Structure 1
Amino acid sequence: MKMVRIILALVVIVLSSYSLIAQTFELMPYYIFFLGAFMLVTGFVEIQKDRKGFWGYMNIVISLFLFFFYIPYFL
């Protein structure tokens, strides 16, 4: 899971950096998708560590929210 989090974080950083440098928003749906995937994995890791607190569940809820509202951009 650690490697998946690192890869997703790098993808998010690269896409957002490109978007800022080129000042184009064409890649924004992909950026949001990978950000949601990163938050979903982070939430699962927090829950697996027996930190069944607020932030693990909040990360999962926010990622599902992002996926739900950005699905029309991919279809």
Structure 2
Amino acid sequence: MKILRIILTTVVVALSSYGLITGKSGIIMPYILLLMGGLLVVMGLAEFRKRKPIAFTSLLAAGFSLFVGIYTL
């Protein structure tokens, strides 16, 4: 889980930086949202294992992010 979180975070930051530098953030925004949704799912599941109440909020945010990412493709 920890390695997957690090990989997803690195890819999201790299794509966001690329979008800011090139000015083409509109083209890659759905992919950033999909990866961010995946990252939130991983973080939510990790928090759910620890029985923290923030897990439900994280999973809801992941669902919303995934929905918007799929809708904008």
Greater helix fraction, Structure 1 or Structure 2: 2
Q: Does 1:73 align with 2:57?
A: no
Cα-Cα RMSD = 1.1
TM-score under structure 1 length normalisation: 0.88
TM-score under structure 2 length normalisation: 0.90
User: Percent identity of the aligned residues?
Assistant: 35
- 1:5-44 matches, within 5 Å, as 5-25=5-25, 26-44=27-45
Gaps of at least 5 residues in structure 2 are none
Task: List, as ranges, runs of 4+ consecutive aligned residues in structure 1 with deviation greater than 2 Å.
Answer: none
Aligned residues: 72
Gaps of at least 5 residues in structure 1 are none
